[in-house]
Chains A and B, each alone.
With several copies, the nearest count.
Chain A
Amino acid sequence: MDIKELELGDIDIAWCPGCGNFGILKILKQTLSEIEMPLSELVMVSGIGQAAKIPQYLRCNYFNGLHGRALSAATAIKFANRSLTVIAESGDGDMYGEGGNHFIHTIRRNPDITNIVHNNMVYGLTKGQASPTSKLQFKTPVQVGGVVLDPFNPLAVAIALNATFVARAFSGHIEQTKEIFKQAIRHKGYALVDVFQPCVTFNKLNTYKWFKDNTYYLEDDYDPTDRQAAFKRACEEGKYPLGVFYTDDSRRPWEDMADGYKHDDRPLYQREPDMTQLKQLIASYRD
């Protein structure tokens, strides 16, 4: 598909010049174009925040819901119509802060959706408070003396939760990130891609340079099916590995095991209540 089909033309993008979100938008569009994603089958789901504005900036179906709740809506959209490709994309505050409980339980449910998280280690839209991934001692107007909460490690937690696809990428690396996005979308089941993203306005600690200096890619011969190894690599600090940490193809997505799809493959919108069965059901209350 020509990438032009995804473009909205001359739109006003509400991100700051130089923001890492632009990179992710570009990579996303290239990914979709290269995998020939039919537009009407794609649904982008997001919450609220700077990252969460991303669906506004490409041609797609979207559900831009509440702060923290993207995964719940995304899961249900997939459950209601399995032929849709669903990408839930939002910020680190959205997904790991307000949305933390859905993060846990969506991973347990393993719906076939892709979860892209813009990890700028800060709350951008609300002007620079700490996010769950903010580094220790990061100073903000609310974390006056610096962050003291242990930074949330999304990869380690996802692996602990038996997520079936766990990756980390960097918004500054177009090609590598695109490949990770492609794998994630192709993965059958829940796929997490945590994307390091510089916030040039509010995060003066984790800058482009910082990310460049403090990341490297997992080795070519790295085996992403070894859960213990994956956990270990996910725990690395100082220098943060990028790439696909963990994949597990043994678990089936929830929607493929659902009772409601046992005898009927159709998406829900095509269904009507079975009146014959309903009458029988009602009649059963006669006895």
Chain B
Amino acid sequence: MAVSLTKGRADVSIVLCGQAGQGIQTVDSLLSGICKRTGYNVFSTQEFMSRIRGGANSTQIRVSSKPVSAFVRRIDLLIPMSKNAIEHVENRLSDDTLIVGDKVTLGDSVDQNKHNFIEIPFTEIAEEAGGKIYANTAAVGALAALLKIELSDVNEFLAGFFKSKSSEIIDNNKKAAAAAYEKSKALLDSGDIELELKKDQSLKEQLLLGGAEAVSIGAIAGGCNFASSYPMSPSTAVLTFLAQKAEQFGLIVEQAEDEIAAMNMSIGAWYAGARAMVTTSGGGFALMTEGLSLAAMIESPMVIHIGQRPGPATGLPTRTEQADLNLALYAGHGEFPRVIYAPGNPQDAMSLTHKAFNIADKYQVPVFVLTDQFLLDSRYTIPEFDLSEVKNEKHLVKTDKDYLRYALTEDGVSPRGIPGYGEGLVDVDSDEHDAAGHITESMEVRNRMMQKRLIKKTELIRNETIAPELVGSDDYKTLVICWGSTYHAAKEAMELLGRDDVALLYFKQLWPLPEQAADYLKKAEQTIIIEGNATSQFAQLIKLETGISIEHRINKYDGLSFFVEEIYEAVNNLI
């Protein structure tokens, strides 16, 4: 009986599962890279434990004829790489799932009666090629054959990927790949396995990259030249990226002793003319909230990247959630304006992080880029970034002798000078201050500064919001709302539903809430919101701002992002 891996669908969902430290990420990188080069769309996402070795982690790689960028429950092809692998994903297996693996590794964890299992002896192949460590490459070879990729392409990619290694190692990798390739090609040729995917040569021009890279590139594009942070999953990748590029791009990057130092450093850096950011997660940001209030008080621009993960406290350190919106929205003592972006894919991550620097600088307010582990650690094939819009709008003025840092202006924004650029003195104070930046206890001045800093500037940033994107027909009866990284899963669920009367509204700016929100919501007969948290924080915000209470709330907070199927099922049940 032939097994079809695609079954008329445009994509195959491959899941690699094994222990931390086994090299699943390498398999992912290799396979994703080869597939993209071959002309497939690729999306890969990982779920992993908070440990360095052992346990059970998995990576889903969707290889597709059409663009795909979402996490699905469905597993078409499972490559279990450790004994505990099958158990780890057991509840996502179906009768259609094909398991390809190695009995030496799997032992009795695989059950021929229950599982749809085909053996390829990865370990043996690897040992023949030069050692156990080549088992990963063998898996790549096997998968490449099933995906109808030419062996020569595999070889070429391997040579590039391992170019820093010895030629012996490269050869061994090729040997392992080739041997496994032959075995699985035989399966395909025998007709036991079927797979239908279309290749598109233009995809070669696309990029294959993850959310963390997109945020980092956006930062560099936005003129970021200073980053101070303290490592914290899942945000560390951005710090690492910038550190790696520090020399090339002339960035000052410093690992601080704690998040408090990181925040106060970045604020100090802005004061001296840098464009600075911090990258952290909810728990680290909690320590920065006093600093946030400082930034607001001295009207310093500030860019804060929060990669969300499940809390409270340490929570599930390597997993995903969307539960820190309220934190970003209300953090800090006292009252002040702020801006919150929440990109749903790498394109938006790049462009919003870039924009964050310009908006922060223009209005002298803190701007948040709110992502999460899912977005940061997933990799997507995407069209080339559009750099034509990248403008590094600087809003610094050269000071003259009479310069006043907090001069009262019509719109509330005081021209921002920095020390050492011009003849003036630049004085900023965390106490209430007058136009010169000197401490005051005058109630009149206090009132004026509150008007300027809080009320006028709130007005300004309300006028420069990014509209939510409507996906689907304008003529909807049901409106599904999502924000940030749930975007692609929600969108694919809508496609599965395939209904004209259901549309999706994707918010990438959460605060100030774009004014279009109310109109979109009012038009709907039924509203449904999808949030990766327990208390529907964005629905609450919408209620507060528009008075509209979203009827149905779909929540998930177990540490995983939404599966496409979950959203599909939940919405389908409601409409």
Contacts and interface: CB of A to CB of B under 8 A. Distances in A.
A, B assembled together:
yes
Interface of A: 12, 14-17, 39-43, 45, 48, 50, 53, 55-56, 59-69, 72-81, 83-84, 97-98, 100-102, 104-105, 109, 123-127, 129-130, 132, 141-145, 201-202, 254-255, 258-264, 267-275, 277-279, 281-282, 285-287
A126 B437 CA distance: 23
Given A75-B268, A269-B272, A274-B249, A142 B239 contact: yes
Given A40-B425, A275-B390, A102 B272 contact: no
Contact of A69 (B204, B222, B231, B291): B291
Interface in B220-275: 220-226, 228, 230-233, 236, 239-240, 243-258, 260-269, 271-275
A17 to B, nearest CB: 6
Interface of B: 21, 33, 37, 49-55, 160, 204-209, 213, 217, 220-226, 228, 230-233, 236, 239-240, 243-258, 260-269, 271-276, 283, 290-291, 294, 298, 313-314, 317, 384-385, 387, 390, 392, 396, 418-431, 437-439
Nearest to A255: B252
A160 to B, nearest CB: 16
Contact of B257 (A77, A80, A83, A97): A97
18 contacts: A14-B51, A48-B314, A56-B429, A62-B427, A62-B428, A65-B430, A73-B264, A74-B268, A123-B231, A141-B243, A142-B240, A143-B255, A259-B243, A260-B225, A268-B269, A273-B222, A285-B213, A286-B205
B271 A73 contact: yes
B244 A104 contact: no
Contacts of B267: 65, 73, 76
A142 B425 CA distance: 36
Given A14-B54, A56-B439, A63 B273 contact: no
A277 B33 contact: no
Contact of B428 (A17, A63, A258, A261): A63
Nearest to A264: B250
A275 B52 CA distance: 37
A143 B427 CA distance: 34
Contacts of B384: 282
B263 to A, nearest CB: 8
A143 B254 CA distance: 8
Given A40-B423, A267-B272, A282-B207, 14 more contacts: A63-B268, A69-B291, A74-B268, A76-B228, A76-B268, A126-B233, A132-B257, A141-B243, A143-B243, A259-B247, A269-B418, A279-B387, A281-B217, A287-B33
A201 B384 CA distance: 36
Contacts of B254: 79, 109, 254
Given A53-B439, A142-B243, A268 B225 contact: yes
Contact of B258 (A12, A40, A98, A275): A98
Contact of A129 (B217, B255, B275, B396): B255
A80 B396 CA distance: 15
A287 B203 CA distance: 11
A65 B268 contact: yes
B266 A271 contact: no
A81 B387 contact: no
B221 A278 contact: yes
B110 to A, nearest CB: 21
Contacts of B53: 14-17, 201
A70 to B, nearest CB: 8
A258 B314 CA distance: 32
A5 to B, nearest CB: 11
Contacts of B245: 281
Contacts of B248: 277, 281
Nearest to B314: A48
Contact of A81 (B224, B266, B272, B427): B272
B209 A83 contact: no
B249 A77 contact: no
Given A62-B428, A65-B294, A141 B249 contact: no
Contacts of B275: 268
